C-alpha cells in the first residue's frame, strides 16, 4: 500500500546538495562490527529487546551509487540502521521487529534516505572544520565508530569488559500505546471504515486520531461540521463530521482498541466503527485529498483542526518555509515529551518534494551519549523506531528532512513549557526535588521532579524571564538560580 502523505506548499521544498570533502566511507563489514560492538555496549538499548547477534547486512546506495547506509538485521528479531560514513553518527536508529522497507512511500524509508543523504553531504562540507575541532574524540561520530568496532573485535564476550558498558538513559518511555494504520485491520475496513470508497484515511488523520486516542479527547460531542474534500481528483465535495454516533456525539474511546491486529478474533465491528469515526473526522477536518493509493492534507490545517473541530485549547506549528527546522526541533519536542505531550512531525518524501509523511514523536532518551527519539509511524506498529533525528547546521546548506512540527498540543491550558533535570554531585537524578520559578512581580510557580530528575513547568506566559531555583532535602544548591527566557 502506498503511504498517504501531507502536502508541502509548492516551491517551498528544494533540496540543494553541494559537493565537499568527505570522510572515510564504511563497508558492510564495518557496519556489522559497529552494530555488534554497540550491542555489546548496550545490553538493552533504551529498554528495547533487540536480537544479540547479526543475521545479515543489507546495503543501500545513494544517488552516486556508493553505499549510503546499511540495515543490520538481528537474530532473532530487530534491525539497526547504520550510516555508511565514519563522519556521521554510526547508529542512526533501531527497531525491535519488522523488516525495513526502503520505499519513499514508507515513512521510515523516506526519513532514512533523505536524512542520510543530507547528513553525509553536510559532514563532507564541514569535514575540514571537524578535523580541527577534535573529530576523533570518544563522543564524536568517528570516536564511536572506533569504539564500537574495537569492542566487537575483542574476543572477550563480557559486557563489562574494560569499563565499556554504556547505560542507556531513558528520559521518556513511548507515550502513545496505539498501533494504528490508515486502511484495514485484520483484513477488515477499520481506519478507512467511513472514508469515501474506503480509501486510506491519510497519515495525518492517523497521527491526529492516535493523539486524540492518547488523551481520550474530546470528551464531549464535537457537533456536525461541514467541510470540503477532494476524492480521486474530484474537488469540492461537501461532507460532515460524524462524531461517535454519526450525529456529532461523543467518541466511544473505550471501544477504540489500541492494537487491533493483536487479536483479530476479538476485533468487533463496533470497535472498527469507533476507530473509523475518529480517523474519518480527522481526515475531513483537514480537507483531505482522498485517493486509492494515498491521501494527503496540509500540516497547518491539522494544527487548526485540533483547536477548532476537536476542541484542544492549544496547538502550535513549528515551520521553516519548507526547510528543515534543524536543532530547534529538540526544543519543541523534548519539553513536550517531559510533560507527557506527544508531538506530530512532518517528514519530507524525497521522491516527491510536494509531499511528506506525518508521524508521532512520543519518547526520547540517550544511548552511548546519542539522543534518540521514539517515532510512531502510523503503520500498525511496523517500523516504529528509536531514531537519532538530524541535527544539521542550517547555515551550511539547504537540508530538508523534518520540516514541520505540531507541538504544545494541550486539551486544556495555554502557554509555554520549561523542563529540565535536577542532578546530584555525581550526575545522578534527584527525585522529589521541588523547582520554583519566579518571574519578576509574580508569585512562585513550582514543580516536583520525577524519578528521572525531570521537572516540568507548563502554561507559562511568553516573553518573560523566569528564575529557577531547586530545593531538595539533604542538598544545597547555588543561591544564584538559573534564568530562563520563554
pLDDT in tens, 226-260: 999 999 999 999 999 999 999 999 999 999 999 99
Q: What percent of the chain has pLDDT over 70?
A: 83
Q: Are 112 and 11 in contact, with CB atoms under 8 Å apart? A: no
Q: Decide if pLDDT at 180 tops 90.
A: yes
**Which has the higher per-residue pLDDT, 10 or 224?**
224
The region of weakest confidence among 13-17, 142-146, 354-358, 381-385 is 13-17
Residue 66 has, within 13 A of its CA and on its CB side, a CA count of 13
Shortest CA distance to 417 belongs to which of 304, 482, 333? 333
The secondary structure of 405-427 as a DSSP string is EEEEEESS--SEEEEEE-B-TTS
Q: Decide if pLDDT at 303 tops 50.
A: yes
Instruction: Tell me the average pLDDT across 424-436.
Output: 93
**Cell numbers placing 169:** 538513559
Strand ranges (E), 88-225: 91-95, 169-172, 184-185, 188-189
Domain 416-485 falls in which CATH fold?
Immunoglobulin-like (2.60.40)
pLDDT for 480 equals: 60
Round to the nearest angstrom and report the end-to-end CA distance of the chain: 43
Question: Band of the pLDDT at 484, cuts 50, 70, 90?
Answer: confident
Instruction: Tell me the average pLDDT across 50-67.
Output: 94
Shortest CA distance to 191 belongs to which of 177, 213, 209, 178? 209
Q: Are 23 and 372 in contact, with CB atoms under 8 Å apart? A: no
Taking only the tens place, the pLDDT of each residue in 77-126 is 999 999 999 999 999 999 998 889 999 888 899 899 889 988 877 765 54
Taking only the tens place, the pLDDT of each residue in 437-448 is 987 555 678 999
Q: In whole angstroms, give the CA distance from residue 36 to residue 52.
A: 8
Question: Band of the pLDDT at 136, cuts 50, 70, 90?
Answer: low
Question: Band of the pLDDT at 400, cuts 50, 70, 90?
Answer: low
Taking only the tens place, the pLDDT of each residue in 271-293 is 999 999 999 999 999 999 999 99
* Prior bond of 387 cis (ω within 30°): no
Q: Domain map of the chain by residue range?
A: 5-169, 416-485
Return the residue matching grid coordinates 506566559.
461
Q: Decide if pLDDT at 132 tops 60.
A: no
Instruction: Tell me the average pLDDT across 363-380.
Output: 95
Question: Do the strands 79-83 and 416-421 form a parallel or antiparallel pair, or are they unpaired?
Answer: unpaired
The per-residue b/e assignment along 141-179, b for 16 or more CB within 10 angstroms, e otherwise, is: bbbbbbbbbebbeeeeeeeeeeebebebebbbebbbebb
Average confidence score pLDDT of the chain: 86
Give the number of other Cβ atoms within 10 Å of residue 474's Cβ.
6
Q: Are 203 and 353 in contact, with CB atoms under 8 Å apart? A: no
| Predicted TM-score (pTM) of this structure | 0.90
Q: Are 57 and 72 in contact, with CB atoms under 8 Å apart? A: yes
Q: Decide if pLDDT at 129 tops 60.
A: no
Amino acid at each position: 500500500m502506498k503511504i498517504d502523505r501531507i502536502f508541502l506548499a509548492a516551491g517551498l521544498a528544494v533540496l540543494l546538495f553541494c559537493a565537499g570533502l568527505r570522510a572515510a566511507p564504511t563497508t558492510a563489514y564495518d557496519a556489522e562490527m559497529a552494530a555488534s560492538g554497540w550491542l555489546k555496549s548496550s545490553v538493552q538499548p533504551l529498554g528495547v529487546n533487540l536480537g544479540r547477534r547479526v543475521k545479515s547486512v543489507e546495503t543501500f546506495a545513494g544517488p552516486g551509487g556508493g553505499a549510503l547506509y546499511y540495515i543490520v538485521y538481528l537474530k532473532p528479531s530487530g534491525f539497526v540502521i547504520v550510516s555508511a560514513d565514519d563522519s556521521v553518527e554510526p547508529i542512526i536508529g533501531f527497531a525491535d521487529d519488522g523488516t525495513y522497507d526502503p520505499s519513499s512511500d514508507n515513512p521510515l524509508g523516506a526519513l532514512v534516505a533523505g536524512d542520510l543523504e543530507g547528513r553525509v553531504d553536510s559532514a563532507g562540507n564541514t569535514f575540514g572544520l571537524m578535523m580541527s575541532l577534535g573529530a576523533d574524540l570518544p563522543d564524536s561520530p568517528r570516536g564511536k565508530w572506533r569504539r564500537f568496532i574495537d569492542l566487537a573485535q575483542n574476543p572477550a564476550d563480557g559486557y563489562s569488559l574494560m569499563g565499556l558498558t554504556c547505560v542507556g538513559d531513558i528520559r521518556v518511555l513511548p507515550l502513545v500505546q496505539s498501533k494504528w494504520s490508515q486502511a484495514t485491520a485484520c483484513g477488515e475496513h477499520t481506519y478507512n471504515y467511513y472514508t469515501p470508497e474506503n480509501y486510506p484515511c491519510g497519515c495525518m488523520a492517523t497521527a491526529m486520531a492516535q493523539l486524540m486516542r492518547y488523551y481520550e479527547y474530546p470528551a464531549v460531542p464535537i457537533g456536525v461540521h461541514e467541510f470540503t474534500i477532494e476524492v480521486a481528483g474530484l474537488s469540492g465535495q461537501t461532507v460532515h463530521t460524524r462524531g461517535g454516533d454519526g450525529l456529532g456525539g461523543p467518541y466511544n474511546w473505550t471501544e477504540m482498541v489500541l492494537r487491533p491486529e493483536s487479536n483479530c478474533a476479538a476485533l468487533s465491528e463496533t470497535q472498527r466503527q469507533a476507530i473509523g469515526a475518529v480517523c474519518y473526522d480527522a481526515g475531513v477536518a483537514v480537507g483531505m485529498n482522498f485517493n486509492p493509493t494515498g491521501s494527503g492534507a496540509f500540516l497547518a490545517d491539522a494544527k487548526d483542526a485540533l483547536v477548532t473541530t476537536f476542541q484542544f485549547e492549544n496547538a502550535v506549528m513549528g515551520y521553516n518555509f519548507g526547510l528543515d527546522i534543524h536543532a530547534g526541533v529538540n526544543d519543541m519536542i523534548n519539553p513536550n515529551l517531559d510533560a507527557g505531550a506527544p508531538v506530530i512531525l512532518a517528514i519530507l518524501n524525497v521522491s516527491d518534494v510536494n509531499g511528506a509523511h506525518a508521524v508521532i514523536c512520543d519518547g526520547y532518551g540517550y544511548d552511548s551519549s546519542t539522543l534518540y527519539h521514539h517515532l510512531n509511524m502510523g503503520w500498525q506498529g511496523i517500523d516504529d523506531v528509536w531514531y537519532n533525528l538530524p541535527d544539521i547546521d542550517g547555515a551550511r546548506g539547504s537540508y530538508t528532512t523534518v520540516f514541520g512540527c505540531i507541538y504544545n498540543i494541550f486539551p486544556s491550558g495555554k502557554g509555554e513549557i520549561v523542563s529540565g533535570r535536577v542532578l546530584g554531585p555525581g550526575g545522578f537524578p534527584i527525585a522529589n526535588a521541588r523547582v520554583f520559578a519566579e518571574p519578576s512581580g509574580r508569585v512562585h510557580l513550582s514543580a516536583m521532579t520525577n524519578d528521572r530528575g525531570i521537572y516540568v513547568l507548563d502554561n507559562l506566559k511568553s516573553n518573560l524571564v523566569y528564575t529557577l531555583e531547586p530545593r531538595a532535602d539533604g542538598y544545597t544548591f547555588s543561591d544564584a538560580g538559573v534564568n530562563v527566557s520563554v
